Amino acid sequence: MSPKSAQEIINVSARTNETALDYALLRKGLLVLRAVNHPVRHKIIDLLERSQKLIVTDLQKRLNVEQSIVSQHLAILRKAGLLQTERNGKFIFYSVNRQRLLDVKTMAEQISV
């Protein structure tokens, strides 16, 4: 099951006239916001935006941190749906899920008003 976008949640709530909070859905949204809210993950997203796709070793060299740390941050971003992967032989290339990032931006704009 794919994660719902902020707009889909708003549309469903508007159609059903729901005002009750869906706490499970809020936890999922919080997971995504927490994933974005870290300086190393900011840098990873920025690097991937500029380079289109990179492997862990490339990110590790550019960030100047241990590979295990980069891998942990990549796992958090992947779990939040913010990154996509593509396997090519023994390498896994990471890229930004632009639609998901746009959804997060839209959600942040809507709740920060």
Consecutive H or E run containing 96: strand 91-96
Its pTM stands at: 0.77
What whole-number percentage of the chain has pLDDT above 70? Answer: 83
| 41-93 residue pLDDT tens | 999 999 999 999 999 999 999 999 999 999 999 999 999 999 999 999 999 99
Neighbours of 11 (CB within 10 A): 12
C-alpha distances (whole Å) from 9 to each of 14, 29, 41, 83 are 9, 11, 26, 21
Query: What does CATH list as the number for 6-111?
Result: 1.10.10.10
In this structure, which long-range contacts are made by residues 44-49, counting pairs with CB atoms below 8 Å and at least 24 apart in sequence?
A: 44/70, 44/73, 44/74, 44/77, 45/77, 45/82, 45/96, 45/101, 48/83, 48/94, 48/95, 48/96, 49/96
More confident residue, 89 or 26: 89
User: How is the chain split into domains, by residue range?
Assistant: 6-111
